A and B are shown apart, each in its own frame.
Chain A
């Protein structure tokens, strides 16, 4: 038994567990907390300090939010705002290189009654900002001393104004248009921009043997569109109308893989025929034509739920890469993982009667024991290449809600073997012995669905785990224009529409930003023993973002990104991209990895429009192409997104 360091008789107060746990962040610091520094999320020309809205996120008060739905057709610096939903001041500290008199400019928007003031170094500017339509306003002048930092404070807040960007500049003639060349950090370079139909999921593969990645878009109605690397549509398959008994749940399963070693990726995909039957289809990646189809490995429709996934695994030691297709079918009541060979012959199946989500949402093939053969995990069940149980933690977490959501395999303790770091729903962040399933540590991190791990912090001899802790705030009322069924003003209609100034975002009312509510998230930093190091930002940002990580600098080391931010070596985040990160691999064969962002489209009632898929690379990388081997291609193919 553990001995608690408590008084001889501890008194138990009537705090609900949720309230007690909310205090945990401030009481768990068993290791020196992180010290977060300023990082520029914009170009900083001489004599000018650009202060994007994201600079204020570090100390964002509860009730404030970020971004939102921008007015139609309007450009926003960095595609980014801080929305001041509460009266609390928000402040940041900005480095000042040169001494001198700086002129303040403020770009902001609000409602007819909202406003805020600005204090620079404790001196309050006389201007009123954040009122009415988007405005670029000149403020007062401030004498700043170089070589130090100055506090910039947004104060006297009448909710809910939104700040886009502040500028302090010695150039009195600085113009709003001058900002457009200063967006994002200098190292970030937009390489490609694609407009695609609103997707349920996007996959990447070389379907024609050209060496270039095509883009597979399985849309919200489960139709399929294949775009070539230059963005033109190669082919599409239109799904039949949804039948009344077909719930068509949350996932559209599909994967691109060169099953027959032709040098061209084929498409394995779930399809439903017009007679309401479900099929596992193998199609030609160039045309979408069916090569073979077999019945989908699940009971006939209707189902309580559909959560379908696919992955490829290396189940034979002498294979030169993944050789087996894995199909996960959660119908809510019957859940199965089925293995197929390249010709869709079933190899084995593990099935159980469990409530939906019991085995999570993803398939994780990984060579846990280093024998050259993958094992596969679905939530707390670990199977070998023959479908035989290796370990199963059902005895610990028998409720379907407590499934493992996201997994990361990483050697956290330096013993040369990968541990399993898991974002496990409301159970928080957990580390397991990947070989045995034994729980090594746990900590709280709200509802945890995304996870990453690695040597991220500078000068740390041990790795860290970073969890995306998701919270559920009260949803902000939707403006009338966004009620279900309403058409979005200014939104592009369908594939091929021209990119919009709002960067594909859903659009808010013309005179103000519509602030999203509901889902929000923040990062929990843990050391390799599960001790909380820091949370960033101080309160959750709205959204349910993902992590990607890869070789951004081309130096062989991993750089980590979350949401729209790069995770800095001190634990802070710098806004790097205009959209949310979706995937990361060497899309352009430069020898470094690029970050793919995806945003917009909505897709649900009132959504529609198009999505924008961008490929960003590091501007300083000198291309030195490197072959993507089987393991590299496996990571690209098996990538998934919640």
Chain B
């Protein structure tokens, strides 16, 4: 990924250099959340292909091969380094039941769990969770202080170099948040930024590493440089967000108002990523923060990574469509259709219920759903986005002629994701979506092994699936979600055979950042 200095002042470049330093520290921190053994071997392996696989996956587990280990035989550790080895949700639940005073800390998104004191000599191993006598929790800002302190210092130094007072304010608040684990104020300041030229994602937001409780976050970061031309095109969607919320096929009580929430959107180029944005799946868009309080109060910021999207569409999506869709429908797939589907996906992360209603109480949806939440939320965003594309056409805000292109691009996007593997939340979500659409005859396999989209059947199938997924969230129906995903978790033979035809097409990009190695300005 090139680092385009055009349009950046010298001070902005100096500021970006400081932010890059912080990102490099975050990469190291992320490995300590993800896979200590992988990190140790990554640095010393004499095998260049092993090194490359570590650089892609951020752990020893191959996301593109159902999380099979690339080093040794250790299966994916569900809790990575966030919990003691062998921790299951049952272990935590049992311990929390007998130690109610620790429950909040055990379930806290910003704590690590250990089976021995954290200051135990590094030589000494910790008991496996199932036989440990005690569990200990440590807030991230203590457990990871070794990296967080210099990261905060880098952010503060960057703030001093910023000519954008609001951005400097945000950087200072974010530095403080790193040292306190309280991201609320800095998230608010981030959402209040007005079209910043340089922006920064830098927080523990996502829960992809937590396969035990699905609540603990991993650090992710990205330096963002605003793409002015593309950002202007988003204006259409920004104006419609509140109306989109009210158009969703669920009861009004589950559609909290989005009126007055001018949720920011940015189209950016990202010259550097860190942590969970750096490794594994290379997102082309993001919707942050994830704090439900902020969703309810201010919405969220949608970010579209133009340089990553261009690389994906050109190298992956269009070639796949050429091999897996009928020849007639292949021509419907387009970069524009794909961009629209992605934009609507990210908007949809901020739509729908804000909380689950369980026994008349408001419960955070991720806590209610548990480990399946990540997959559910990705599926909801996908399907709601496609549902809203039809709604935009009905509102005459999108030309009707573009709808089939959006459907075709969405399906081509599913093919792309499934080649990436089904172990990760997006892949599992889209396998479920594909199977439901196949069941509803909105997608059909052809005799030549290619698929045909039933454009006429698509709106009803999408609406029904969207309603189901939104209600899962509204009700916090953990059992229902798990059963639903289990039902649609098997790849049909027609799909696996068709995917075979795309073996010569890359499944993703593996970015190498010029900013990592360039000389400082």
Contact of A401 among B46, B52, B72, B122 (CB under 8 A): B72
A532 contacts the other chain (CB 8 A): yes
Which of A16-24, A63-71, A161-169 forms part of the interface with chain B?
A16-24
Q: Are A396 and B36 in contact (CB under 8 A)?
A: yes
Closest A residue by C-beta to B52: A4
CB of A120, distance to nearest CB on chain B (Å): 40
Task: Name the interface residues of A330-388: CB closer than 8 Å to any CB of B.
Answer: 352-354, 381
B446 contacts the other chain (CB 8 A): no
Closest A residue by C-beta to B282: A12
Return chain B residues, CB-CB under 8 Å to A6.
Answer: 52, 510, 512
Cα A402 to Cα B510 in complex, Å, equals 28
Contact of A526 among B46, B75, B504, B516 (CB under 8 A): B46
B24 contacts the other chain (CB 8 A): yes
Return chain A residues, CB-CB under 8 Å to B311.
Answer: 9
A223 contacts the other chain (CB 8 A): no
Which of B37-45, B94-102, B464-472 forms part of the interface with chain A?
B37-45
Q: Are A395 and B36 in contact (CB under 8 A)?
A: yes
Closest A residue by C-beta to B314: A9
Q: Are B512 and A7 in contact (CB under 8 A)?
A: yes
Q: Are A21 and B36 in contact (CB under 8 A)?
A: no
Cα A399 to Cα B41 in complex, Å, equals 15
Contact of B128 among A21, A23, A353 (CB under 8 A): A353
Q: Are B65 and A16 in contact (CB under 8 A)?
A: yes
Cα A473 to Cα B509 in complex, Å, equals 34
In the complex with contacts A4-B55, A401-B74, A427-B71, A9-B507 CB distance below 8 A: no
Return chain B residues, CB-CB under 8 Å to A529.
Answer: 46
Cα A548 to Cα B70 in complex, Å, equals 30
Q: Are B49 and A9 in contact (CB under 8 A)?
A: no
Return chain B residues, CB-CB under 8 Å to A391.
Answer: 123
Contact of B44 among A8, A12, A402, A442 (CB under 8 A): A442
Task: Name the interface residues of A389-417: CB closer than 8 Å to any CB of B.
Answer: 389-392, 394-399, 401-402
In the complex with contacts A12-B56, A396-B37, A396-B40, A401-B512 CB distance below 8 A: no
Return chain A residues, CB-CB under 8 Å to B85.
Answer: 394, 398
Q: Are B125 and A14 in contact (CB under 8 A)?
A: no
Output the residue of B1, B69, B72, B517 with the most chain A CB within 10 A: B72
B50 contacts the other chain (CB 8 A): yes
A287 contacts the other chain (CB 8 A): no
Return chain B residues, CB-CB under 8 Å to A21.
Answer: 47, 49-50, 70
Cα A389 to Cα B503 in complex, Å, equals 49
Q: How many residues of B contact A (CB 8 A)?
A: 61
Q: Are B46 and A426 in contact (CB under 8 A)?
A: no
Convert A1-44 into 0s and 1s, putting 1 for each residue whose CB lies closer than 8 angstroms to a CB of B: 11110111111111011101101100110100000000000000
Task: Name the interface residues of B36-94: CB closer than 8 Å to any CB of A.
Answer: 36-37, 40-53, 55-56, 62, 64-65, 68-75, 77, 85-86
Q: Are B47 and A397 in contact (CB under 8 A)?
A: no
Task: Name the interface residues of B90-125: CB closer than 8 Å to any CB of A.
Answer: 122-125
Convert A437-478 into 0s and 1s, putting 1 for each residue whose CB lies closer than 8 angstroms to a CB of B: 111111110000000000000000000000000000000000
Return chain A residues, CB-CB under 8 Å to B14.
Answer: none
Cα A74 to Cα B43 in complex, Å, equals 54
Contact of A444 among B27, B50, B511 (CB under 8 A): B50
CB of A334, distance to nearest CB on chain B (Å): 10
Q: Are A10 and B509 in contact (CB under 8 A)?
A: yes
Contact of A389 among B70, B124, B419 (CB under 8 A): B124
CB of A186, distance to nearest CB on chain B (Å): 39
In the complex with contacts A353-B128, A399-B72, A8-B1 CB distance below 8 A: yes
Return chain B residues, CB-CB under 8 Å to A14.
Answer: 64, 419, 502-503, 506-507
Return chain B residues, CB-CB under 8 Å to A572.
Answer: none
Task: Name the interface residues of A529-561: CB closer than 8 Å to any CB of B.
Answer: 529-532
Contact of B512 among A9, A16, A30, A395 (CB under 8 A): A9
B424 contacts the other chain (CB 8 A): no
Cα A428 to Cα B315 in complex, Å, equals 34
Closest A residue by C-beta to B71: A427
Q: Are A12 and B510 in contact (CB under 8 A)?
A: yes
Q: Are B37 and A441 in contact (CB under 8 A)?
A: no
Convert A514-538 into 0s and 1s, putting 1 for each residue whose CB lies closer than 8 angstroms to a CB of B: 0000000000001001111000000
Closest B residue by C-beta to A353: B131
A512 contacts the other chain (CB 8 A): no
Contact of B510 among A10, A16, A437, A443 (CB under 8 A): A10
B251 contacts the other chain (CB 8 A): no
Chain B binding surface SS class: mixed
A425 contacts the other chain (CB 8 A): yes
Q: Are B65 and A17 in contact (CB under 8 A)?
A: yes
Return chain A residues, CB-CB under 8 Å to B315.
Answer: 9, 11
Closest B residue by C-beta to A30: B46
Q: Are A2 and B51 in contact (CB under 8 A)?
A: yes
Cα A506 to Cα B65 in complex, Å, equals 41
Task: Name the interface residues of B486-507: CB closer than 8 Å to any CB of A.
Answer: 502-504, 506-507
Q: Are A443 and B509 in contact (CB under 8 A)?
A: no
In the complex with contacts A353-B131, A443-B47, A17-B506 CB distance below 8 A: no
Q: Are A440 and B75 in contact (CB under 8 A)?
A: no
B196 contacts the other chain (CB 8 A): no
B241 contacts the other chain (CB 8 A): no
Q: Are A427 and B53 in contact (CB under 8 A)?
A: no
CB of B280, distance to nearest CB on chain A (Å): 10
In the complex with contacts A2-B55, A11-B510, A24-B47 CB distance below 8 A: yes
Cα A391 to Cα B126 in complex, Å, equals 12
B473 contacts the other chain (CB 8 A): no
In the complex with contacts A395-B37, A395-B125, A402-B74, A441-B45 CB distance below 8 A: yes
Q: Are A8 and B124 in contact (CB under 8 A)?
A: no
Task: Name the interface residues of B114-169: CB closer than 8 Å to any CB of A.
Answer: 122-128, 131
Closest A residue by C-beta to B64: A14
Closest B residue by C-beta to A398: B85
Closest A residue by C-beta to B35: A396
Return chain A residues, CB-CB under 8 Å to B480.
Answer: none
Q: Are B50 and A12 in contact (CB under 8 A)?
A: no
Convert A600-624 into 0s and 1s, putting 1 for each residue whose CB lies closer than 8 angstroms to a CB of B: 0000000000000000000000000
Q: Are B46 and A16 in contact (CB under 8 A)?
A: no
Q: Are A1 and B24 in contact (CB under 8 A)?
A: yes
A424 contacts the other chain (CB 8 A): yes
Closest B residue by C-beta to A394: B125
In the complex with contacts A3-B517, A14-B64, A397-B72 CB distance below 8 A: yes
Cα A394 to Cα B128 in complex, Å, equals 10
Closest B residue by C-beta to A358: B128
Cα A526 to Cα B45 in complex, Å, equals 12
Contact of A24 among B2, B50, B124 (CB under 8 A): B50
Q: Are B512 and A10 in contact (CB under 8 A)?
A: yes
CB of A356, distance to nearest CB on chain B (Å): 13
B508 contacts the other chain (CB 8 A): yes
Return chain A residues, CB-CB under 8 Å to B86.
Answer: 398
Task: Name the interface residues of B259-300: CB closer than 8 Å to any CB of A.
Answer: none
Contact of B516 among A1, A7, A443 (CB under 8 A): A1
Q: Are B45 and A27 in contact (CB under 8 A)?
A: no
In the complex with contacts A2-B42, A17-B53, A439-B44, A9-B65 CB distance below 8 A: no
CB pairs A–B below 8 angstroms (26 shown):
A2-B43, A3-B517, A4-B55, A4-B512, A8-B1, A9-B1, A9-B311, A16-B62, A16-B64, A17-B62, A20-B53, A24-B50, A28-B48, A353-B127, A395-B36, A395-B126, A397-B37, A398-B85, A401-B72, A425-B73, A441-B45, A442-B47, A443-B45, A443-B46, A530-B44, A531-B46
> Which residues of A come within 8 Å of B, CB atoms?
1-4, 6-14, 16-18, 20-21, 23-24, 27-28, 30, 352-354, 381, 389-392, 394-399, 401-402, 424-428, 430, 437-444, 526, 529-532
Q: Which 7 A-B pairs have the closest CB atoms?
A: A530-B46, A399-B74, A396-B37, A394-B125, A11-B506, A401-B73, A402-B72
In the complex, given contacts A14-B506, A427-B41, what are 18 additional A-B residue pairs having Cβ atoms less than 8 angstroms apart?
A: A8-B1, A9-B510, A10-B509, A14-B502, A16-B68, A17-B53, A21-B50, A27-B49, A28-B46, A395-B36, A395-B126, A397-B74, A398-B37, A398-B77, A399-B73, A426-B71, A439-B41, A439-B44
